Amino acid sequence: MLLSVVIVARNEEENIERCIKSILRETKGISKVEVLMVDSASTDQTVEIAKNYSINIIQLKSDWPLSPSAGRFSGVNNTTGKYVLIIDGDMELLAGWVNKALEFLDGNSKCAAVMGKSYNIYRNQEKPSLDRYAKRIGRTKKINYVQQSSFFRRICLEEVGNFHPFLRAEEEAEISCRLRNKGYNLYFLDYESAYHYRPHTDPFREMRRRKTTGLYPGMGDMFSWCLRKGYYTILWERFKVFFFFGMFAGCSVFGFLILLLLGQVIPAVVFLMLPVYFFVFQCVKKGSVRQGVLSWLNVSMIALSLLKGLFRKIPEISEYPKDVMWVKRIQGIKPY
């Protein structure tokens, strides 16, 4: 098998048909290709819609720890292609991306993964015109992390142990770190790869979504795992802003208590107000109070999640269940 396309989906009945159609369209000229949808215990019509198409379908059980990374992990385990394209169910492949990515991977043996340029499309928003973007496949650059509709070389994924299924966020950054630690390169191709359909543009609603779906706690999981494994480079690259804010807030509280015990009430209040100064700085930097509030809340929630992550132990990759449920199998690929 040359190419395996893994669709990771959960409750994507509004998007899954468009995603599948784009994959079948863009892989039509490839003779050795398999498409597998990994459904994370959807409660809507996602699976029923997907059954109408010539693809394989597996489901993760509802009592398992569910996450996009668990879908990636299970998708890699249950496919066989030399290359693996992993795409979320709310995305749509753009014309030419598959062939360009495969062409680049074939010519660069030290490349473990490659990504292109994707575009967020919000509800009721028109798609951007791609005619104004030059398709410059010759312009590439090495990057530290891949994300969204990325291609992976299977042998590299297997060498580093696959995606970490217990991570609820930052899973692509984490496996990118492991791939780079093994000496492999990651590349960005200046080529349109996918549309990513998003439900809304309101940042406060997006924050609530992140909280309810476990993305904020997932940052703490990532912090705990990387700290335990000694991935200090990724900790610095991904979390330095939140480290500084946490130290800033901690010094504020500590200074307040010490000065209060010394009877220095006014200086104590000044120390306690340090986070407020940060908020004012954010408002000025962002150019609006609304954006300042959003930035302050976002940084605060992530910093708190990192602190909580210190007290969590993330299981090893090998501990995740592998007995997935096969809903539909049309190409005779073997389960893990």
User: What average pLDDT score do residues 216-239 get?
Assistant: 91
pLDDT of the residue at 137: 46
Across 15-139, where does the E strand assignment appear? 33-39, 56-59, 83-88, 91-93, 111-122
State how far the Cα of 25 lies from the Cα of 10, in Å rounded to an integer: 22
Do residues 75 and 69 touch, judged by C-beta distance below 8 A?
no
Residue 44 scores a pLDDT above 90? yes
State how far the Cα of 7 lies from the Cα of 164, in Å rounded to an integer: 17
pLDDT of the residue at 73: 98
Lowest mean pLDDT among 33-47, 66-80, 125-139: 125-139
Highest mean pLDDT of the ranges 99-113, 195-209, 271-285, 290-304: 99-113
User: What average pLDDT score do residues 285-290 get?
Assistant: 81
| 157 alpha-carbon distance from chain centroid | 16
pLDDT tier at 288, thresholds 50, 70, 90: confident
pLDDT of the residue at 269: 83
User: What average pLDDT score do residues 197-221 get?
Assistant: 80
State how far the Cα of 166 lies from the Cα of 316, in Å rounded to an integer: 8
For residues 58 and 271, the model is more confident at 58
pLDDT tier at 104, thresholds 50, 70, 90: very high
pLDDT of the residue at 324: 96
pLDDT of the residue at 130: 64
Residue 133 scores a pLDDT above 50? no
Lowest mean pLDDT among 136-140, 148-152, 188-192, 311-315: 136-140
Q: What share of the chain is helix, strand, coil (3-state, %, to 5)?
A: 45, 20, 35
Of 39, 47, 38, the C-alpha closest to 13 is: 47
pTM tops 0.85, yes or no = yes
Is residue 127 classed as helix, strand or coil in its secondary structure? coil
DSSP string of 308-321? Answer: HHTT--PPPGGGS-
Provide the b/e sequence for 162-186 (b: ≥16 CB within 10 Å).
bbbbbbbbbbbbbbbbbbbeeebeb
Do residues 69 and 164 touch, judged by C-beta distance below 8 A?
yes
Who's near 2: CB < 8 A, 6+ residues apart?
30, 31, 32, 33, 81, 82, 83, 102
Tell me the chain's radius of gyration from C-alpha atoms: 22
Whose structure tokens read 């060498």? 159
Residue 4 scores a pLDDT above 50? yes
User: What average pLDDT score do residues 105-114 get?
Assistant: 96
pLDDT of the residue at 201: 65
Provide the b/e sequence for 48-60 (b: ≥16 CB within 10 Å).
ebbeebebbbbbb
